[in-house]
Amino acid sequence: MSDNQFTMFPGQGSQRAGMASHLLREHPRTAGRVLEQAQEASGLPLSDLCTTAADGELAPTEIAQPAIVATSLATYQVLHREAGFVPAAVAGHSLGEYTALVVAGVLDADDALRLVRRRGELMAGVSRRVAGAMAAVIGLPPAQIEEICAATAGAGVVEVANYNEAGQTVISGQRAAVEEAVRLAGAAGAERTVPLKVSAPFHCSLMHVIEDEFAAELEQVAFGEPALPVFSSVTGARVRDGAHARDLLRRQLAGPVRWVDVLDAAAAFGADGYLEVGPGRVLSGFAKRTVPDARVRSTNDARRITTLLRDLRQDAAAPAAAA
């Protein structure tokens, strides 16, 4: 393991059936405690949803979001409690920013889960009112995709939602406008375009309608000062304090995810290792392609977690042996 470990938490789309089953099987005390707490805070049967639910049951936004955060928190606590792991810095991709703020001591875990459940409910409400869509465009520079979105404005709302890496940008908006932008991207030479299986047009101006209501929810929650560096996916820069974190979570709803900027900031911070904590390996893939010389690891399954715990314990024992 590296001394300057940049830890990343995934967002919506990383959910999958049985995503926490290995945690309960291999680490029942630690993971079980976290999932039970998450279940009480959210009012959802997360222990079952994260272990036995089918993909279709996890698909709704209002279910997927708390389930991903609960699984990510359980994974982190396994690393922290069983091997003493503490990141050098953290960041989360959209939804994952809530997990990052919990780990950094800015948010209480129960508050984060309650906020995430409400966030998912509000976002799902937008999907019932708007025929929205999202699509990943691969193989065109972001600036060109911005131009395509601007050229498509006559067909409706379509905007860049995620700057994920140099060769992958996600667009979001009204379905007809997204489809037209996808057509133009193909004509412009995109390697491929991938419709995303989401229920709402996330991270675009169509989400402004829920900002005020969610801001009121955020005002009811205490935000502390970061105990370690947190890089926001809204700006790509560090979160200054609790008030700043609260404002960023409000802006996050309709603003694009600037993950390219987050990884650039991590490199400037001096990160020499990247660790994705939670379900999936999407962020690991972005890091590998963006920072090819760095060591990138994930916690997607029991084998990877077992190997990681072994390495963390060895690293912790090495200074003691040297002394």
pLDDT (average), residues 30-50 = 97
pLDDT, residue 323, reads 47
Q: Answer yes or no: do 190 and 212 share one domain.
A: no
In the set 14, 47, 72, 94, the catalytic residue is: 94
Q: Answer yes or no: do 15 and 139 share one domain.
A: no
**Taking 80 as the threshold, does the pLDDT of residue 172 lie above it?**
yes
314 against 202, higher pLDDT: 202
Last residue of a domain, one of 199, 220, 248: 199
CA distance 145 to 174: 16
Q: Answer yes or no: do 117 and 14 share one domain.
A: yes
Share above pLDDT 90 across residues of the chain, in percent, rounded to a whole number: 92
Last residue of a domain, one of 199, 217, 251: 199
Q: Answer yes or no: do 33 and 113 share one domain.
A: yes
Q: Answer yes or no: do 43 and 181 share one domain.
A: no
Q: Answer yes or no: do 36 and 96 share one domain.
A: yes
pLDDT (average), residues 91-110 = 98
Backbone φ, ψ for residue 192 (5° rounding): -165, 160
Domain range for 117 is: 5-127+206-322
pLDDT (average), residues 74-86 = 97
pLDDT, residue 4, reads 83
User: What is the full DSSP assignment across 88-130?
Assistant: SEEEESTTHHHHHHHHTTSS-HHHHHHHHHHHHHHHHHHHHHS
- Three-state SS for 14? coil
- With DSSP H G I counted as helix, E B as strand and the rest as coil, what are the percentages for the chain, rounded to 5? 55, 15, 30
What CATH number did the domain enclosing 194 receive? 3.30.70.250
Q: Is 203 a catalytic residue?
A: yes
Digit-coded pLDDT (tens) for 159-169: 999 999 999 99
Q: Answer yes or no: do 20 and 62 share one domain.
A: yes
Q: Answer yes or no: do 106 and 181 share one domain.
A: no
Report which DSSP code applies to 41. H
Digit-coded pLDDT (tens) for 270-310: 998 999 999 999 999 999 999 998 999 999 999 999 999 99
**Taking 70 as the threshold, does the pLDDT of residue 3 lie above it?**
no
Last residue of a domain, one of 199, 220, 238: 199
What CATH number did the domain enclosing 25 receive? 3.40.366.10
Q: Answer yes or no: do 309 and 219 share one domain.
A: yes
Q: Answer yes or no: do 33 and 77 share one domain.
A: yes
pLDDT (average), residues 205-231 = 98
**Taking 70 as the threshold, does the pLDDT of residue 246 lie above it?**
yes
Q: Is 94 a catalytic residue?
A: yes
Total structural domains in the chain?
2
pLDDT (average), residues 233-237 = 98
In the set 22, 27, 93, 203, the catalytic residue is: 203
Q: Answer yes or no: do 123 and 86 share one domain.
A: yes
pLDDT (average), residues 123-145 = 95
pLDDT, residue 318, reads 67
User: What is the full DSSP assignment across 259-300?
Assistant: HHHHHHHHHHHT--EEEE-SS-SHHHHHHHHHSTTSEEEE-S
pLDDT band at 1 (very low <50, low <70, confident <90, very high): low
Q: Answer yes or no: do 232 and 282 share one domain.
A: yes
